[in-house]
Structures are given as structure tokens and as C-alpha cells.
Chains A and B, each alone.
Chain A
Amino acid sequence: MNKALKTKSNLEKVLASGNFAVTGELGPPRSANREEVVEKAKHLVGNVDSVNVTDNQTAVVRMSSLAASLIAQQNGLEANMQMVCRDRNRIAMQSDILGASALGINNLLILSGDHQTFGDHPEAKNVYDLDSINLIRALKVMRDEGKLLSGQEMPEDGRPKLFIGAAYNPFADPEDYRVIRAAKKVDAGVDFMQSQCIYDMERFRKFMKRAVEMGLTERTHFLAGVTPLKSLGMARYMKNNVPGITMPDSYIERLKGVAKEKQEEEGIKMACEQIQEFREMKGISGVHLMLVEWEHMVPTMVKEAKLVPRPAL
């Protein structure tokens, strides 16, 4: 992989230096309360290299990812601002990209976005002017060639210097195609990719083996998504209700064998075992910890998984 840094991103530095990266996640509040962002940020500072700030996740209206990213950065974190294609057309997305870069955001993670029927405004019109792969390509051209989608040129010092992220999901269908879709994102110019929550390790190993064989992990950093299970109930819920997540019965059986008050601890232990395997897995450059609305558990999680201290570069 080209080690010349493309941006000022801390995450890029960590990955380029060969350290095992750790990213976290922060969901902005459903209000204008900046204190909520500050509070969540406290649990993440020093424990992650960069934090994803979600963009109206599950199509529920929240404080904008750009605003919450800035608050996170004012409170000691590096933001990985998420942007979904659901709510804005190519004019608004490029404009927000320029603004984010101007305000000091260094990482931008691009997603299609959950369909609005899942959220709190199901009557909304959706946009999807560009899809995630279209936008990745557009952003790469903006950054590296200084051109907007229209062809309009930007001066050298006005290019958005963003480290480009995307998601990959080995657990959606059709299974064989998932790695090809990830390859399309790599071809489009993504610098790093984070996966959905991984529980089905067998399917994940199979996916990564193909990604390595195809040379994708030489061109892009792959981070493995981890969400510790809080309880047997959560495991069952995810198995039955969350599209794009596969939950093997072995997880459910293991939690069944543990007293209710010990399930949280067991969930963390299971996640640590996964992280240990990811450290040794060929092609994996780090982990993405998704402890949404459970941010206070991050310090424990990274300590147990021996992911701290984080490198200061």
C-alpha cells in the first residue's frame, strides 16, 4: 500500500504505520443538546483512533453528522464523519464535503443509508441521486484531481483532503457477490473499510480469504466490526430482526449457559476473543467497535481486549 499520507487523518497515520487500528462509534442526539455529544465523547477519548459520527442512522432525525463531528473534535476525538446517500443530492453532498474539509474533518465514511421507511419520518421522499460507490469515486476525484463531478476545477490548496471510508457487509446476500461489491468500492478509491457487526466468524473468514486472494487488502485497510452482546435477548433480537446480520446459534447457546447478570461480562469476553482472532487474521488492519448507546463500556472493552494505549503519532 502506498505509505505517502494523503491527508492529516490520525486514522490514516495509525494504519500507515502498521498499528492495529481501533475506531469507535458515536450517535448524535435527537436534539440540539451538545452536552450529550460531549458526554459520549468522554468515554471514547484515548480509547480509539477515530470515531464514526453517524448520519441520521436508521433514518431517524438526529443532530447532523458534521455538527456532531465538530463537537467531538473539540472534545479530543478525531471524527470519521459518516455521510449517507439517502438525504442529499450530488450538489448538497459535494458542498458538505467541502465544508467538512474546511472545518477540519479528516475522515469521511460513505454509505447508501438505511431506507427511510425504517425511521421516524417514513413519509419522507428519498434522494439516492448518487449511490455510495458513485460518491466514493466522486470524492476521490475531488481530493486527488481537484475536480467536482461537474468537472469544475479547484485550486490545489482547496481540495478536500479526506481519508475515504466505506462499509462492507459479508453477511448480506448474495453471499458470493459481497466480496465483488467490496472490490468495487476498492476500485472506486476507498482508503479503509469497516464491516457490519461480525458474529458469524466462519462466513467472515471465508470472505476475508477471498478478499486477500483478490489483493483487496493490499489496496485498502479492512477493519472488522465488533459489537459485544449485552444479553441473550439482544442476541435473539439481532438474529431475528436485523437485516444483514447473521447470528450463529453457538452465540445464543453460550449466553444461555450463563446467568442473566453475568451475560454482559460474557458478551465482552466473547468480543475480546473475536478481537484476538482479528489481530491474527490475514488482511485485517484493525477493529471498529460499535457500542452504540453503550459508549461508557468502551473503556472496559478496549482494556479487556488489550487495545490500549493507543499510539500517539
Chain B
Amino acid sequence: MIIAERKPLDEIKSFVKGLRRVLVVGCRGCVTVCNAGGTKEVELLASLLRLDASKDDLPLTVDEFTLERQCDPEYVDELSDLMDKRYDAVLSMACSIGPQFLSRRYPEERVFPALNTCFLGGALAHGIWAEHCQACGNCVIHLFGGLCPISRCSKSLLNGPCGGSAGGKCEVSKEIDCVWHLIVEKITREGRMEEFSRMDLVKDWRSSRDGGPRKIVRQELLK
């Protein structure tokens, strides 16, 4: 899923400074699962903004609404009645796709991202998420014992580990596992080292962002 986290409160406050009517919009997709932009987080952010405004005696109204998904026009449409009321600003608590879809559907509104979209990952434990994919568009993890060197090696090496791998950790930080250490362990356990060490892969980055913004068209699904 997409892992996001809320922007620093001060940054969000700077978005709404001097405004009177603000709508905070949550999303029940990925950001609900990673506790960044679901109903609960919308409620919390709205309360913090109200509290801050009341401290300074500012007339700020903050409304709340959480959509099923912000990355789907069908759900984004559900905001149309609310948007008739016209807000000074809409704070989207989705990944960055959300504010872009809201802006497109409601071009008169000023939409701000309330989250930073961080990476594609999963939860290692409650409250800990880690990057596992870079959406390069041509998955090769089966060649690396089911582990992704593109997203999980700091240098995206296809022939790691580099000379900075020490004690299973990356040279960049002891908080980062050296994925190449894990790959070597896995391949060794599987008894596939001979074949593995002969692999000669040069990545074709066209399927990644490097080929330009990507789009998928599935003819059979078009109405």
C-alpha cells in the first residue's frame, strides 16, 4: 500500500492561516490502514486546527468528511454537495493522488496536501512501516530470492552488496537492513548460488518513471 504521514502541524497551519472556512477530507484507502488520513486522523487534525484558532480567537470553521477513496472520480463526486458551500481551503488527508483528484474535480477550490506521501510499503509491526517497492514497472524480485534490490538497496544495485555492507546493515544507516545481505543468505539457503552468481541483468528503466509519467489503458474495461 501507499504509506503516508501527516505533514508537520505548523506547515498545515500555514496553509490555513487567515482563512475562515476549511474542509478536511480523509480517505478510507491506504492512508486509513497506515493511520495517516482516515476518519480518526481527520477528526484529530480538525480538532487541532479549531483549538489553535480558538486560542487566538480566530473565526475558523473546520468541516470534516472522509471518502471511500480519493483516487476514484466516483467517490470524489460525493463531495459535490459539500463543495457547493464553498470553502476557503480543502485539506486532503490522502496520498498526493487525493488532492490532485479533488483539484481536478473541483477546480474552483484551493486544495492542499495535509500528508506527505512517503513510499510503497508494508507494516513490519504496529506503527512501523518500511519501503518494499519502487513501482519500477517490471518486477524482478523472483530473481533475487523474493526481495527487491531496486527499492530496498540504497544504491539499487543489481549486483550487491557493495563494500559498505556490515553486519547485515546498510552503510547509509544502521536502521536499514542491507537487502543484499538478505538476498545472499536466501540464495545460499536455497542452494542456488552458482546459477545466481552468473546472472547478468541490466535494468531497463523505461517501465519506471524514467520513461515519463505512466498510464495503463485496459480496453476490456472501457465503457
Contact = CB atoms under 8 A, between A and B. Distances in A.
B9 interface: no
Interface in B121-180: 154-168, 171-172, 178
Nearest to B198: A187
Contacts of B203: 129
A172 B203 CA distance: 25
B202 interface: yes
Contacts of A132: 159
B163 A174 contact: no
A129 B211 CA distance: 13
Given A244-B163, A244-B166, A137 B200 contact: yes
Contact of B155 (A131, A149, A184): A131
A130 to B, nearest CB: 7
Nearest to B170: A115
Nearest to B205: A129
B197 A126 contact: no
B184 A172 contact: no
A183 B197 contact: yes
A113 B198 CA distance: 23
B69 interface: no
Given A85-B155, A174-B161, A244-B171, 9 more contacts: A112-B157, A114-B164, A115-B155, A126-B155, A131-B159, A172-B163, A173-B161, A181-B159, A244-B165
A117 B157 contact: no
B166 A173 contact: yes
B181 interface: yes
Interface of B: 154-168, 171-172, 178, 181, 184-185, 188, 193, 197-198, 200, 202-203, 205
A237 B166 CA distance: 16
Contacts of B162: 112, 172
Contacts of B205: 129
A172 B202 contact: no
29 contacts: A85-B155, A112-B162, A113-B155, A114-B164, A115-B164, A117-B172, A128-B156, A129-B203, A130-B202, A131-B156, A131-B158, A134-B158, A138-B202, A169-B163, A173-B167, A173-B181, A174-B161, A174-B165, A174-B181, A174-B184, A176-B188, A177-B161, A183-B197, A243-B166, A243-B171, A244-B164, A244-B165, A244-B166, A244-B171
Interface in A137-181: 137-138, 149, 167, 169, 172-174, 176-177, 180-181
A220 interface: no
A50 interface: no
